[in-house]
Amino acid sequence: MTGPRHYITTTIPYVNARPHLGFALELVQADTLARHHRHRGGQVRLLSGTDDNSLKNVLAAEAEGVGVREFVDRNADAFAALRDPLALSLDDFIRTSSDPRHRTGVERLWRRCAAAGDLYRKEYEGLYCVGCEQFWTPDELVDGRCAEHGTEPQLVAEENWFFRLSRYADRLHDLITEGTLRIEPAARRNEVLALIAGGLHDFSVSRSHTRARGWGIPVPGDPEQVVYVWWDALGNYVTSLGYGSDDPAYEQWWAAGDRRIHLVGKGVVRFHAVYWPAMLLSAGLPLPTDILVHDYLTVGGRKISKSGNGTAVDPVSLAAAHGTDAVRWWLLRDVPRVGDADFTTERLTARADADFAGGLGNLVHRIVTMVHRYRGGSVPPLGTDRFAVATLLDVCREAPGRIDAALAGFDFRRAVDAAWDILEEANRCIDATRPWELAGAERRGNSDAAERLDAVLAALVTACRVLADELRPFVPESAARIARQVTSVDGVLPEAEPLFVRLRERR
Ligand SMILES: [Zn+2]
């Protein structure tokens, strides 16, 4: 394999509750990017995992009256089990509390930053939001409450280890403005630059062993403290590759890789675009190349929350009820690049029915039926009279480049639109060329009509094949179904079959 090396990661969610559709969005986006780059001949490594070592998990386990280990394992399993229902082509899945690669890597990262002189002990008193797992300054709160969770943070006073974030403000600013560290969309990049311009404060990177209930990775050389869960969690992006345990593998994908791409939700931008790059600079490691930020899903206008405010939507049940590709398709086609998207089951099924059974299914069925009716199932040569199909062939030829550009800009909707233009142009081509009339003229001995019918049918089948090929990263199973229908076996296309069942008739 020689194509460019893309290392693509999702965030690793806390396992304080079961997964919801909001995280499925990130997983499906990351998987689509991974499949896309593999499809174009790149080398890809796709990682997800779970963030086990948080105090939030400890408190959730206590509230449920089960042991932390049992609780974390059970919920982490639920995240790992998203792989099949969402058709995720994961290469790796890391669990921070049990993966032997993780702890040694986090310890090494800590020691490297300590050796750089960036870790020091300090008495500290601050307002801690357990939901965020972070300290907030009073001016960052809204009416004394966490803006993200709406809860009052607790006052915590203890001696912690601190990381000299302030030292890296100028370099981070330069790396982001010059595009070495790319943050998309632009509004998020500006948000990070504003945060840096406002002044970066050193942040606490350990917790007392007691407050952490003994859960987490002990600070190297200071067992009375455990490593702050965000420091621990961010480390997964390199520990999973073998940083600290298998250096050649780490080198291959991180240090010597072409792109290091993190997909993150808008709520955790500061951790990924400020804290993490600063930690890497301190440790003397390369930075991520791309931080791609998605907004949130809402249900009926309310943010989806794992911890039960009635808006949790289970991606596994959705996929079981409506199909994996229906879920992927809604997430990729209807969620805008910027701005929250509102989910309802009605929207998901309406979209799937309109586009699968209505759009793709109809088009492919019509075309295959015509090839059988007029050419005995064998796809004719494109011939020389391509005037009537020139636009369709152009759209097919341009689609891959448009999809590449859209995905490079982290715009899944625009990528899907580029593929969809093939379908729309194919339908226009059928309406404009009226193949049934060409067939009638051919029967009356018109050889021009016969040649034109050849060209039209050949171009339409080509369009279906390109469509199937280009849709593969987005809806792998449906794309494969279309590909089978338009692939000749012994010189003949398979008989036309209905490819998609309408979801709303099935219910
Ligand atoms: Zn919070």
For residue 264, the CA-to-ligand 1 centroid distance in Å is 17
DSSP 8-state class, residue 357: I
- What average pLDDT does this structure show over 432-438? 98
For residue 190, the CA-to-ligand 1 centroid distance in Å is 22
For residue 131, the CA-to-ligand 1 centroid distance in Å is 4
* pLDDT at 312 (0 to 100): 65
The amino acid present at 265, given as its one-letter code, is: G
Task: Pick the closest to residue 385 from 469, 467, 465, 446 (CA basis).
Answer: 446
Task: Tell how strand 297-299 and strand 341-343 pair up.
Answer: parallel
Among 30-44, 209-223, 303-317, 450-464, the minimum mean pLDDT is found in 303-317
Residue 505 predicted with pLDDT over 70: no
Alpha-carbon span 374 to 180, nearest angstrom: 56
For residue 38, what are its two tokens? 């593999």
For residue 16, the CA-to-ligand 1 centroid distance in Å is 14
For residue 11, the CA-to-ligand 1 centroid distance in Å is 17
For residue 348, the CA-to-ligand 1 centroid distance in Å is 30
* Residues near ion ligand 1 (Cβ under 5 Å): 129, 131-132, 146, 148-149
For residue 151, the CA-to-ligand 1 centroid distance in Å is 7
Helix 345-352 and helix 315-322, axial crossing angle in degrees, nearest 10: 40
For residue 230, the CA-to-ligand 1 centroid distance in Å is 14
For residue 397, the CA-to-ligand 1 centroid distance in Å is 48
For residue 127, the CA-to-ligand 1 centroid distance in Å is 10
Residue 155 predicted with pLDDT over 80: yes
Which residue in this structure is represented by tokens 């069942």? 501
For residue 302, the CA-to-ligand 1 centroid distance in Å is 17
Distances (CA, A) of 494 to 316, 378, 498: 33, 10, 12
469: phi then psi, degrees, rounded to nearest 5: -65, -45
Alpha-carbon span 80 to 397, nearest angstrom: 38
- Per-residue pLDDT of 200-223, as tens digits, reads 999 999 999 998 889 999 999 999
Is residue 413 within 8 Å of 471, Cβ to Cβ?
no
For residue 344, the CA-to-ligand 1 centroid distance in Å is 26
* pLDDT at 494 (0 to 100): 98
Alpha-carbon span 226 to 160, nearest angstrom: 9
DSSP labels, 472-493: TTTSHHHHHHHHHHTS-BTTBP
For residue 305, the CA-to-ligand 1 centroid distance in Å is 12
For residue 153, the CA-to-ligand 1 centroid distance in Å is 7
For residue 126, the CA-to-ligand 1 centroid distance in Å is 14
Residue 412 predicted with pLDDT over 80: yes
pTM for this model (two decimals) = 0.95
For residue 57, the CA-to-ligand 1 centroid distance in Å is 14
For residue 133, the CA-to-ligand 1 centroid distance in Å is 7
For residue 111, the CA-to-ligand 1 centroid distance in Å is 29
* pLDDT at 303 (0 to 100): 75
For residue 56, the CA-to-ligand 1 centroid distance in Å is 11
Task: Pick the closest to residue 258 from 82, 466, 37 (CA basis).
Answer: 37
* pLDDT at 504 (0 to 100): 83
For residue 414, the CA-to-ligand 1 centroid distance in Å is 33
Q: List, in sequence order, every residue forming a beta bridge with 160; answer none if it has no partner.
A: 122
For residue 156, the CA-to-ligand 1 centroid distance in Å is 15
* pLDDT at 115 (0 to 100): 98
For residue 132, the CA-to-ligand 1 centroid distance in Å is 4
Is residue 272 within 8 Å of 264, Cβ to Cβ?
yes
How many CA atoms lie less than 13 Å away from 194 in the CB half-sphere?
Answer: 7
DSSP 8-state class, residue 241: T
For residue 333, the CA-to-ligand 1 centroid distance in Å is 30
Which residue in this structure is represented by tokens 């793709």? 360
For residue 144, the CA-to-ligand 1 centroid distance in Å is 11
340: phi then psi, degrees, rounded to nearest 5: -75, 150
Query: pLDDT-based confidence at 497, cuts 50/70/90?
Result: very high
For residue 375, the CA-to-ligand 1 centroid distance in Å is 65
For residue 359, what are its two tokens? 């759009």
For residue 222, the CA-to-ligand 1 centroid distance in Å is 28
For residue 315, the CA-to-ligand 1 centroid distance in Å is 24
Residues in the chain: 507
* pLDDT at 292 (0 to 100): 98
* pLDDT at 506 (0 to 100): 54
For residue 428, the CA-to-ligand 1 centroid distance in Å is 52
- What average pLDDT does this structure show over 334-353? 94
Helix 476-485 and helix 324-333, axial crossing angle in degrees, nearest 10: 110
- Per-residue pLDDT of 62-92, as tens digits, reads 999 999 999 999 999 999 999 999 999 999 9
Angle at 23 between CA 18 and CA 28, to 5 degrees: 125
For residue 147, the CA-to-ligand 1 centroid distance in Å is 7
Query: pLDDT-based confidence at 301, cuts 50/70/90?
Result: confident
Task: Pick the closest to residue 289 from 50, 4, 92, 96 (CA basis).
Answer: 4
